[in-house]
Amino acid sequence: MAAWDDVLPWIFCIEQIVEDGDERLGINFCDHRNRFVLAEHDGDGVCLVHVGGCMGTCGRNRNSNRIHSARCCDDGCAPIDESQFLNDAMQTTMQIPLTHRSVLALFAHPDDIEFVAAGTLLLLQDLGWQIHYCNIADGCCGSTTTNRLETAQIRLKESRRSANLLGATFYQPICHDLDVFYNAANLAKIASIVRQSQPSILLTHAPSDYMEDHMQACRLAVTAAFARSIPNFATDPPAASFEGELAIYHAQPHGNRTPLGDLVYPQIYVATDSVIERKRQLLECHQSQQQWLQSTQKLNSYLQTMLDLGREVAELSGHECEFAEGWRRHLHFGFGGPNFDPLSEALGHLTFKP
């Protein structure tokens, strides 16, 4: 007789709970072999039905009738204890220890996170991850109408509002716009933020991007992550070094292209359809930028640009999502094992690899 204890080790991530009025009919989930599974209520108890599909497609197979094999617990079913099941399932979902479910977004300017990373952060947040949010520069150059100090103050407020909506821990910028240099002072500050947030996932810019602040931010982030476990490297302010695997993921460069105009193909696509409205609201917090980008960079609609870029990434993925964010994992040397890929693991059912 199958019991829920036999079922739990199968579960990687719950996809959908199927209900008819108050009656719970089943739970769709991904198993650890990337198969899509339906646990179905069968009168007196629960049976497993394989629905099929791989992790990359299960998100859209939820209504599919491609049943690969029939029930695997023919000999009887155990009654559902739903609250216990969900509780245990969530525990089982995460292969990463609770203390390391921490993600740090380290980007150059206020609004960079909202353009290329906020969808992924929202999805991780929904799974119970701690979100840490840092714009390295203060955004002081992002206006033609207010001075540096006023502009930085306005943008600090806008960023804090977005970080609050995201439920993120906010870190103060460490320098001015166009002062994002790879130097010892900046590195000591960024390394302190890495140590304070103790991430297992670090999200940052692409190594090759349209402007220098982004590329310097990326270099600072990578070395700061490398220095996380080196006690003889002093940070500013001082923060204790920590051991632990960490994976760095590089976002899409602005415009999804290198500075020379070549299209950049991600290694990992994250479907962001389910959070796109919330992502739009986060970008909307940066109201001052709507006017600035219109006048200086001819971005007709700030919000529309973000949506268009997300649509282009979705098209590159070749999957049936409307919006996506793209990531490339930094080589693992100095950071973790060769297969340490916590982003794909955590968001398994929403990620696609070409």
Output the DSSP codes for 40-88: EE-SSSEEEEE----TTTGGG-TT-----B--S-TT-BPPP-HHHHHHH
Task: Return the number of the residue (108 or 282) whose C-beta is nearest Zn ion.
Answer: 108
**Whole-angstrom distance between the N-terminal and C-terminal Cα of the chain?**
40
What is the spatial distance between Cα 37 and Cα 11, in angstroms, rounded to a whole number? 9
Which token pair is 58? 């299960």
What is the spatial distance between Cα 322 and Cα 314, in angstroms, rounded to a whole number? 6
Q: Is 244 exposed, middle or buried (0-12, 13-18, 19+ CB in 10 A)?
A: middle
CB of 215 to Zn ion, least distance (A): 11
Task: Return the number of the residue (253 or 342) whose C-beta is nearest Zn ion.
Answer: 253
Q: Is there binding between residue 155 and Zn ion (CB under 5 A)?
A: no
Task: Return the number of the residue (30 or 137) whose C-beta is nearest Zn ion.
Answer: 137
CB of 226 to Zn ion, least distance (A): 23
CB of 174 to Zn ion, least distance (A): 15
Cβ–Cβ < 8 Å for 169, 102: no
Cβ–Cβ < 8 Å for 322, 311: yes
Task: Return the number of the residue (7 or 117) whose C-beta is nearest Zn ion.
Answer: 117
Task: Return the number of the residue (101 or 109) whose C-beta is nearest Zn ion.
Answer: 109
Task: Return the number of the residue (216 or 317) whose C-beta is nearest Zn ion.
Answer: 216
Task: Return the number of the residue (170 or 242) whose C-beta is nearest Zn ion.
Answer: 170
CB of 191 to Zn ion, least distance (A): 21
CB of 112 to Zn ion, least distance (A): 4
CB of 328 to Zn ion, least distance (A): 18
CB of 41 to Zn ion, least distance (A): 50
CB of 218 to Zn ion, least distance (A): 11
Q: In the range 73-102, which residues lie near Zn ion by CB under 5 A? A: none
Which phi-psi region, left, alpha or beta, contains residue 134 (left: φ > 0; alpha: ψ -120 to 50)? Answer: beta
Task: Return the number of the residue (109 or 280) whose C-beta is nearest Zn ion.
Answer: 109
* Nearest-CB residue for Zn ion: 109
What is the spatial distance between Cα 103 and Cα 120, in angstroms, rounded to a whole number? 10
Q: How many residues line the site for Zn ion (CB under 5 A)?
A: 3
The contact mask relative to Zn ion for 102-141 (x = CB under 5 A, - = no) is: ------xx--x-----------------------------
What is the spatial distance between Cα 105 and Cα 249, in angstroms, rounded to a whole number? 10
Helix (H, G, I), strand (E, B), or coil: what is residue 196? helix
- Side chain identity at residue 2, one-letter code: A
- Side chain identity at residue 148, one-letter code: R
Helices (H), 138-211: 148-166, 184-197
Binding stretches for Zn ion (CB under 5 A):
108-109, 112
